[in-house]
Chains A and B, each alone.
Chain A
Amino acid sequence: MQSLKLAVIAAIAIGFGGSAQADLKPSSGFGKPITQAELSAWDIDISTSDGVGLPSGSGTVAQGAKIFAEKCATCHGEGAKGGTQFGQMFGGLDSMTTPKRKLNPSSMFPYAPILFDYTKRAMPMDAPQSLTNNEVYALSGYIYSLSGLVPKNATIDAKYLSNMKMPNRNGFISDDRPDAKAVRCLSKCN
């Protein structure tokens, strides 16, 4: 009898455990409503495929070169050729079908605004979110100009970045795994 009781209790426990998540969901939440104005300082992401989220402002390639020398070259090297911490940031646009693919903003990014998003949120590494929008536009123009994707006299803004056609635009495929076809061989396998 005792063991039967235990079995019943165990069965209930297992049944409950399986659907605990749904059962425990509270009928009301504990969030506090927030307005767009209140959260705007955090709303920094760019939808990079269409440029939605790119702020107003602009910057020139020439300004970007100057800002890069002041704030970026310590780690990335003079002229973005590679520095004490990180490697070269341009070129290799035709490297994808070679054994040594070059990974940098110009060769890899399918959409130009990716560079704005990343630089604004994470750079410089020791002072992220310190660059103004104008500075980030200028730096984006400068970095892309080193690979010839932007002319040296260009002024970069939201519209400019959104309209750029990147070399690796069609370089991505979606996840099609599982792709390996292994069999569970047990004897005389090799």
Chain B
Amino acid sequence: MSRKTKLSQYDKNMIDVLAEPTREEASALLKHKTYAKEERLYEDMSELGRGRRRFMSGIAAAGAAAAAAGTLGSASAKAEKLSVPEWSKSMGRPIDPKVYGLPSKYEGHYKRNRTDVYVNKQNFSDWSMTPIQHQKGIVTPNGVIFERHHAGIADIDPDKHRLVIHGMVKRPMVYTMDALMRYPSVSRFHFLECSGNGLTDWLKPLSKTVQQTHGLLSCSQWTGIPISWLLDEVGMSKDAKWILFEGADGSGHARSIPISKAMGEGMLVFGSGGEMLRPENGYPLRAFFPGWEGNTCVKWLRRIKVSDKPWHLRSETARYTDPMPGGKWRQFSMEMECKSVIANPSGGMQLKGPGDYTIQGFAWSGRGSIKAVDVTTDGGKTWRAAEVEGPVMDKCMTQFRYNWKWDGAPTKIASRAVDSTGYVQPTVEDLKKARYIAGFVQHHNGIFPWSVSANGEVKNAIA
């Protein structure tokens, strides 16, 4: 994003429409801390040999470009005269004796949205989506972690909650929350993604925003205890192979989990993002299987039962299975494969004319960490490595950025992630060669393009 580069037609156009700055404005601008950059721009302007007027205009253009790069904000041609605002001339709000702080009232747009592309007729077995286009960094605030419930949000008294472990074990046990929290806790950063993330947008662009296409995705630091500690405590039979995890909500949602995953990375989670889980995320206790579909991370966990075979419940036969060619269904497809998406700019946004923009997005993989993210800004002809921001963690949302100078021509932009196993995020076309994609299908990890029109409109371009 060098300002030494030749001025674009856009910059030249801007110069011609700008008014003469007043002496006061000129003075204020010259004192601005980015003076050095503006001076370089002045050099560029000098090459054009168009005098003082263009010098001042150039400063405004630099400001506009910077604003556009950061926030896709307005390219205001001319700075306003600064006045001292009210909040600088008064005392602020006093400190409350006890309070749970809330976001600024100006951030009211940062909301989880109930699904509105696939609209359920009721909102108990339903889902809501995280606005990842507004997320700062890799941690999703607890208040906007996506939801998927099968019988509404259970409101559980932690003192009355119990976890039972039984089945093919030597010593069946019951645990209170107090008992579970006596164990030394462990905290790990991981993404959580619903297997249905993207299900409306395989072949046709039904969704408008990235919240609708990719918002069944969140990331937090999860706190709890390894499931293996408790399974060791109850002493599993040597024939044990599968373990049932069952919720205490009205749906009694349950999934069969292979013993290797439960004894490996499986966690019993009671905390996320620095506090106890929110009710909608399973308070006071949920299962967590890093990298596996959210559906396996059973919320409001009440029971763990050990067996030598899977249960084949409704949620692992008629639901949460993937249609395959020849009338078949892929079952127990629980790993979430490597995926990425551009969050800014994304569907529903508007670029304010040609110039410098930072493409920003997220990548994640249920099989490991992110090795690289490539970005295309020419509709997939060429791809260049984006900057992947650390810490790059195992099965965790990872942020990438890529500086792009948009020339104003219509194009398509997209990202493509590669994970630590070497797996390259496929296109929908690649996935269609192996699977049967018709209707609303789970496990969509395809490359997701956004189109940019000549007027800067950004749209879903999946098909």
Interface residue ranges, A against B (CB under 8 Å): 20-21, 24-26, 29-36, 38-39, 42-49, 84-86, 96-97, 99-101, 103-105, 108-111, 114-115, 117-118, 121-122, 125, 128-129, 168, 171-190
25 A-B residue contacts at CB 8 Å?
A20-B186, A25-B232, A26-B184, A31-B174, A33-B174, A44-B252, A49-B310, A101-B439, A110-B312, A111-B312, A111-B317, A114-B312, A117-B314, A128-B151, A171-B327, A171-B329, A172-B328, A175-B334, A177-B337, A179-B434, A179-B435, A180-B430, A184-B424, A186-B384, A190-B379
Known: A34-B164, A97-B326. A26 touches B183 (CB 8 A): yes
Residue B321 at the chain A interface, CB threshold 8 Å: yes
Known: A31-B165, A109-B314, A174-B332. A42 touches B151 (CB 8 A): no
CB pair B330–A175 under 8 Å, yes or no, is yes
Residue B8 at the chain A interface, CB threshold 8 Å: no
A29 contact set on B, CB distance < 8 A = 173, 183, 229-230, 233
Q: Which A residue sits closest to B179, measured CB to CB?
A: A30
Q: Say how far A14's CB is from chain B's closest CB, in angstroms.
A: 13
B431 contact set on A, CB distance < 8 A = 179-180
Q: Is the interface of A mostly helix, strand, loop or mixed?
A: loop
CB pair A33–B171 under 8 Å, yes or no, is yes
CB pair A85–B122 under 8 Å, yes or no, is yes
A20 contact set on B, CB distance < 8 A = 186
Known: A32-B173, A122-B150, A125-B250. A103 touches B122 (CB 8 A): no
Q: Which A residue sits closest to B371, measured CB to CB?
A: A184
**What's the Cα separation between A182 and B252 when bound, in Å?**
39
**What's the Cα separation between A180 and B317 when bound, in Å?**
23
CB pair B252–A31 under 8 Å, yes or no, is no
Interface residue ranges, B against A (CB under 8 Å): 121-122, 124-125, 150-151, 164-166, 171-176, 179-180, 182-184, 186, 226, 229-230, 232-234, 244, 246, 250-254, 302-303, 305, 307, 309-314, 317-318, 321, 323-324, 326-335, 337, 372, 374, 376, 379-384, 416, 418, 423-427, 430-431, 433-435, 438-439
CB pair A129–B312 under 8 Å, yes or no, is no
Q: Say how far B253's CB is from chain A's closest CB, in angstroms.
A: 8
B307 contact set on A, CB distance < 8 A = 47
CB pair A33–B318 under 8 Å, yes or no, is no
**What's the Cα separation between A115 and B313 when bound, in Å?**
9
A189 contact set on B, CB distance < 8 A = 376, 380-383
**What's the Cα separation between A115 and B180 when bound, in Å?**
34
**What's the Cα separation between A23 and B459 when bound, in Å?**
51
CB pair B381–A187 under 8 Å, yes or no, is yes
**What's the Cα separation between A188 and B302 when bound, in Å?**
54
A39 contact set on B, CB distance < 8 A = 164, 166, 172, 174
Contact residue among B121, B252, B330, B438 (Cβ-Cβ distance under 8 Å from A85):
B121
Contact residue among A34, A110, A171, A178 (Cβ-Cβ distance under 8 Å from B173):
A34
**What's the Cα separation between A92 and B253 when bound, in Å?**
26
B332 contact set on A, CB distance < 8 A = 174-175
For the complex of A and B, 7 pairs with smallest distance between CB atoms: A31-B173, A96-B327, A180-B426, A121-B252, A29-B233, A179-B434, A182-B426
CB pair B423–A178 under 8 Å, yes or no, is yes
CB pair A114–B313 under 8 Å, yes or no, is yes
A46 contact set on B, CB distance < 8 A = 311
- Given contact pairs A45-B311, A187-B383, a sample of 20 additional A-B residue pairs in the complex whose CB atoms are under 8 Å apart: A24-B184, A24-B186, A25-B229, A34-B164, A36-B172, A42-B303, A48-B312, A97-B326, A97-B327, A108-B317, A108-B318, A111-B312, A117-B311, A128-B251, A128-B252, A177-B333, A177-B337, A180-B431, A181-B430, A189-B380
